[in-house]
A and B are shown apart, each in its own frame.
Chain A
Amino acid sequence: AQTVTQSQPEMSVQEAETVTLSCTYDTSESNYYLFWYKQPPSRQMILVIRQEAYKQQNATENRFSVNFQKAAKSFSLKISDSQLGDTAMYFCAFTGGNNNDMRFGAGTRLTVKP
């Protein structure tokens, strides 16, 4: 069964600095999809970035980028120029192959300090 692990329950970063959140996963599938979702205090789940496993190029969305290492089954999220509004829970998620379910990690609580 696929599993997703986020080993950092909490992190903090100073405003304007860069922070990297880690995520590892376990799967025997060759084609799959990985996501990072942000959950601010409002509890709304917001998609940050999506990566397709067969694409070697790392996905980027403005200040957010990923480091996708398929062989190592690692999918880290880098946030550049951190802003106070980036304070949130961040969840890594996986879906793939012929399975139609979706697996989430336990989350990393990120605090951006002024």
Chain B
Amino acid sequence: EAQVTQNPRYLITVTGKKLTVTCSQNMNHEYMSWYRQDPGLGLRQIYYSMNVEVTDKGDVPEGYKVSRKEKRNFPLILESPSPNQTSLYFCASSLLMGLAGGNKGDTQYFGPGTRLTVL
């Protein structure tokens, strides 16, 4: 089954304790992305990746890191979480969004979400 998986689905942690949220897709998609969802703000893009070893900042990258060492995986790392990072996080993937700089606007497929609480 084609899907995007995220782990964990729920996480409660304390300020300053490093954590990683994993994301994996089995559709051979080039493009992967992380979003956070907050009430009244919709989804805001944190980071995205066009391909292996290629990552770019989205709207709200502060306090987050990502890596893309393999095509299928795109983990989100919070080196020192703070309470303002309490949110619902989504990973998404799609076919190549940009080809030689052009945006193909392919549909993104989303993971089930990770509810993170930082105390």
Binding site for B on A (CB under 8 A): 4, 6, 9, 31-33, 35, 43-45, 47, 50, 52, 91, 93, 95-107
Contact = CB atoms under 8 A, between A and B. Distances in A.
B105 A98 contact: no
A44 B3 CA distance: 12
B42 A95 contact: no
Q: Is the interface of B mostly helix, strand, loop or mixed?
A: strand
B56 interface: yes
B113 A100 contact: no
Contacts, number: 66
Interface of B: 31, 33, 35, 40-45, 48, 50, 56, 58-59, 88, 90, 92, 97-98, 101-103, 105, 107-110, 112-113
B41 A96 contact: no
